[in-house]
Chain A
Amino acid sequence: MAVEKFKTIISRAVPLPIENVDTDQIIPARFLKATTREGFGDNLFRDWRYKNDGTINEDFVLNNPAYSGKILIAGKNFGSGSSREHAAWAIHDYGFKVVVSSFFADIFRNNALNNGVLPVVVSEEFLARLFSVIADDANAQFRVDLDAQSFEIVATGEKVNFDINAYKKQCLLNGYDDIDYLLSIKDKIERFENERV
């Protein structure tokens, strides 16, 4: 089935300089009762966005009107913990297309890629640079070019390249779907089953 194609993005970014942001923070378990993929954005970072009495936590970055954009920039080991794909759905549904960190938990990275959210891995130094750029100017723009595999601070032209395997890159750029691919090699899978000892 066709999925959304990933286009070059020029956007502001939201900084979240916390390490080890686990998927229980991204979407707490009590919101996993839905049986569809839609609507999880409302509860993205629920317990950080809202106080326990349900009122808005104005200290949290998503509630700060100074920050917005399609890019989330987070501390290292983003998406650790539970395999819940609801975390990727929540990030996508909220409107983020790119998450930048110095590294991602394995399952989250796969889940993000399978939902059109691009995880961009940068060095710890560049990550620190990004946080300082946003601290100086909350309106700073960033350019994410998947085809060129580059992430750029627009105002200064500072640019870094990021890794992504060629297969996943083509999937994102062209809106290809893994299951369509697997279904296309079904005869190979059946042959594998028959030839196993």
Chain B
Amino acid sequence: MSKTLFDKIWDAHVVSEIEDGPSVLYIDKHLVHEVTSPQAFAGIEKRGIPVFRPQNTVATPDHNVPTIDQHLTIKDELSRFQVNTLTRNCEKHGVTLYGLNHPFQGIVHVIGPQLGLTQPGMTIVCGDSHTSTHGAFGAVAFGIGTSEVEMVLATQCVLQPKPRKMRINVNGKLGDGVTAKDVVLYIISKVTASGGTGYFVEFAGDAIKGLSMEGRMTVCNMSIEMGARGGLIAPDQVTFDYIKDKEFAPKGAEFDKALKKWKTLYTDETAVFDKELTFDAADIEPMITYGTNPGMGTKIVSNIPALDEIHEKERLSFEKSMNYMGFKAGEVLEGKPVDFVFVGSCTNGRIEDLREVARFVKGKRKADNITAWIVPGSKQVEKQAYEEGLVTVLEEAGFKLRQPGCSACLAMNDDKIPEGKYAVSTSNRNFEGRQGPGARTLLASPRTAAAVAVTGKIIDPRKVL
């Protein structure tokens, strides 16, 4: 029987099915961080049971770490206790930990791919919704809650209802100056922040195949922002070349054996999806969000929708959102002044993103009204940025380089955008207060963020190049 890529991977991991209930799904790789795991470790300890498969579990602190002076003791008492709790739990249960000063530490979804832990055909979970990032490698990867983290620690399995399947095709060639982030913001603006709920999405089409691994990760990362359970892309030579020689990738004959299996991971021609959407790459232009969910995005050169373009039932939420953002329905976006630029996060904190910003700002200077933060996604990205001379370029342009972590994407640490200020961010969520109480977030690509940093206002980056 013909199967979708998702079916092939999911079905191969079903231990058993519960009648009129969820599947028992076996998990190959469990990624753990400090914020959503302490209650799960406490849970298995209360039950008096060990971590079932510690060798399939990898941990790193990322959400709640400072991004300056990481060599010193964490100042915030609660944060320090939470990070230390992760260390203690990993030591006690034999789980590999890349702690704050380890060369592999970083945002969990940046380090997995970078270390070769993420591989095609795997099931991967983490107590974090952006686990969908790993789907870029042709893996079934999704975020789980803490009770489910406890399930995986206890049995290496989760109880999950099988999601429905959607395919989103982006056909044709992307225009000059249009990036992966623009593609995914465009898709979400069409599908809405809830249109993917209940589905696992396969991204396909020439425009997707033409993306680098970093770009594919950006797209899959944000599949959760349309409500999807996860996103994935069939692995190809780009995928295999990326994985080869990574720290924990299979080596030599083992790699060849794995490759043979990975090459079977694609959607059969006659396989059927529950829903299929097709977009034309030529319609996609540099995008930005103007509201308080990632579905509220538009071309940078467009206006904010007028009130009569909004469905009557949605006007209350729309007006609440405009009120929070300090915007008016129908307004022009370009030219609005911005206060902060944040480059980082599991969406766009990889080396390619830093290169993109550095290439753009080289020899230029950030505008006086802009505070520009650049936060590498991992220690490896940071090291590479120094080695490639990117840090010098960025610092000369007036960017402040911080140390790896989730940082201002969710503002759990001190990296907060002040109340009422506007931040153009390469991250994934523009929710109210996401980047700090009262902070106003506009999501965009690293290229757009660089153009905004240089000009001090919202601008289509194609006008600055």
A37 touches B39 (CB 8 A): yes
Complex interface residues of chain A between 140 and 187 (CB less than 8 A to chain B): 165-168, 178-179, 181-183, 185-186
* Centre residue among A17, A25, A107, A166 by max chain B CB count within 10 A: A107
CB-CB nearest 9 A-B residue pairs: A167-B21, A85-B145, A35-B38, A77-B194, A33-B78, A111-B145, A166-B20, A114-B147, A83-B143
What are 21 A-B contacts defined by CB distance under 8 Å? A1-B46, A18-B320, A20-B194, A24-B432, A28-B433, A32-B35, A32-B63, A33-B412, A35-B42, A82-B128, A104-B197, A107-B144, A110-B148, A115-B147, A165-B20, A166-B20, A167-B22, A168-B21, A178-B159, A179-B151, A193-B26
- Which residues of B does A touch, CB under 8 Å? 15-16, 18-22, 24, 26, 35-36, 38-39, 42-43, 46-47, 49, 63-64, 76, 78-79, 81-82, 85, 127-129, 143-148, 150-151, 154-157, 159-161, 163, 193-194, 197-198, 224, 227, 229, 293, 295, 313-314, 316-317, 320, 410-412, 419, 429, 431-434, 437-438
A56 in the interface (beta carbon within 8 A): no
A43 in the interface (beta carbon within 8 A): no
Q: A25-B432, A77-B193, A84-B36 are in contact. List 13 more A-B contacts (CB 8 A).
A: A25-B431, A34-B82, A35-B38, A82-B128, A105-B194, A106-B163, A106-B229, A110-B160, A165-B22, A179-B47, A182-B151, A185-B16, A192-B15
- Encode A72-89 as 1/0 by CB contact (under 8 A) with B: 000111001111111010
Complex interface residues of chain A between 103 and 149 (CB less than 8 A to chain B): 103-107, 110-111, 114-115, 124
A55 in the interface (beta carbon within 8 A): no
Closest partner residue, chain A, to B228 (CB atom): A106
On chain B, the residues within 8 Å of A186 by CB distance are 155
B431 to chain A, nearest CB (A): 4
Q: A25-B431, A77-B197, A115-B147 are in contact. Are A18 and B21 (CB under 8 A)?
A: no
A188 in the interface (beta carbon within 8 A): yes
B197 touches A19 (CB 8 A): no
B35 touches A114 (CB 8 A): no
Q: A178-B147, A182-B151 are in contact. Are A52 and B432 (CB under 8 A)?
A: no
Closest partner residue, chain B, to A37 (CB atom): B39
On chain B, the residues within 8 Å of A115 by CB distance are 147
A47 touches B432 (CB 8 A): yes
Inter-chain CA distance A85–B147, complex, in Å, is 8
Task: Choose among B156, B161, B197, B293 the residue that contacts A165 (Cβ–Cβ < 8 A).
Answer: B161
A22 in the interface (beta carbon within 8 A): yes
Task: Choose among B18, B64, B410 the residue that contacts A167 (Cβ–Cβ < 8 A).
Answer: B18
B316 touches A18 (CB 8 A): yes
